[in-house]
């Protein structure tokens, strides 16, 4: 009988790494959960209301400025009156049988409407006085002045034999020194329609006039609006 010698040879199949008796489990998948970063969203939520409030505040501020500017430019203001011409026709002073004054003046009033709406005036009234006392009044007819326009109104003041009782001594003294001080007041009353509302307006100008009764001329004239 032949004796066979066993030699160590490599197995035909590799040895299993895991014994068949132990159940095999696949490696589990690992999940990592991260908490959402909400701080920025909270800050954004806090920022958005502040942004909206700032925009609203800016909008209402601009709106208020626009309304104030519109009220400033559109609200009616009083017309501007000045005398473009004042001419003395004649002046006569009588002392007998009683002190009296006869005077005739021609004046041309310049009326400017500074507003953006037309002006309707009912009348233009011009008066003349001596030493603070009114002697006579003349009234002209009404009219209309366009927006931001200028109109001229003529008036003639005539006083015939107006008695000067209380200031007779002053009148005699003024005639003797060659200067008779007179005062003229020109007034205008009207209305201006502002969005279906009639707003009353008025203008006034006063003048101090020194007249020389000898040569029938105006020596000095000072006018100022009121």
The structural domains of the chain, ordered by start, are 80-225 (2.60.40)
Q: What pLDDT score does 82 carry?
A: 93
pLDDT exceeding 70 applies to what percent of the chain?
74
221, two tokens: 């004239």
Burial (CB count <10 Å: 0-12, 13-18, 19+), residue 69: exposed
The residue-averaged pLDDT of 169-195 equals 89
Whether the predicted pLDDT of 2 surpasses 50: no
CA dihedral defined by 41, 43, 46, 52, rounded to 10 degrees?
Answer: -80
User: Is the four-CA dihedral 133, 91, 183, 158 of positive or negative sign?
Assistant: positive
Highest mean pLDDT among 94-103, 135-144, 204-213: 204-213
The per-residue pLDDT for range 114-155, each reduced to its tens digit, is 988 889 998 899 999 998 889 989 998 888 999 889 999 998
Please list, in sequence order, all residues whose beta carbon lies within 8 angstroms of the beta carbon of residue 85, skipping any fewer than 6 positions away.
Answer: 106, 107, 108
Phi, psi of 59 (to 5 degrees): -65, -45
| Mean pLDDT value across residues 38-58 | 61
Answer whether residue 14 shows pLDDT above 80.
no
Helix (H) or strand (E) holding 46: helix 39-74
Q: Which of 88 and 74 is assigned the larger pLDDT?
A: 88
Rounded CA gap, 209 and 131, in Å? 11
């Amino acid at each position: 009988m032949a004796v066979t010698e066993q030699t160590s040879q490599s197995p035909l199949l590799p040895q299993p790494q895991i014994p068949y008796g132990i159940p095999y489990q696949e490696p589990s998948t690992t999940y990592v959960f991260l908490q959402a970063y909400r701080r920025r969203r909270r800050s954004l939520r806090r920022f958005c209301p502040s942004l909206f409030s700032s925009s609203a505040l800016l909008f209402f501020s601009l709106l208020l400025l626009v309304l104030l500017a519109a009220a400033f430019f559109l609200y009616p203001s009083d017309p501007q009156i000045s005398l473009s011409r004042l001419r003395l026709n004649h002046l006569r002073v009588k002392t007998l049988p009683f002190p009296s004054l006869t005077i005739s003046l021609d004046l041309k009033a310049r009326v400017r409407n500074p507003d953006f709406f037309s002006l309707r005036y009912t009348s233009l009234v011009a008066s003349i006085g001596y030493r603070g006392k009114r002697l006579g009044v003349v009234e002209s007819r009404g009219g209309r002045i366009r927006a931001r326009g200028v109109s001229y109104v003529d008036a003639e003041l005539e006083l015939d034999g107006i008695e000067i009782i209380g200031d007779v001594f002053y009148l005699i003294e003024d005639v003797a020194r060659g200067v008779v001080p007179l005062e003229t007041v020109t007034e205008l009353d009207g209305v201006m329609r502002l969005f279906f509302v009639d707003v009353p307006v008025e203008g006034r100008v006063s003048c101090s006039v020194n007249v020389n009764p000898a040569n029938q001329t105006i020596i000095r004239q000072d006018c100022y609006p009121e």
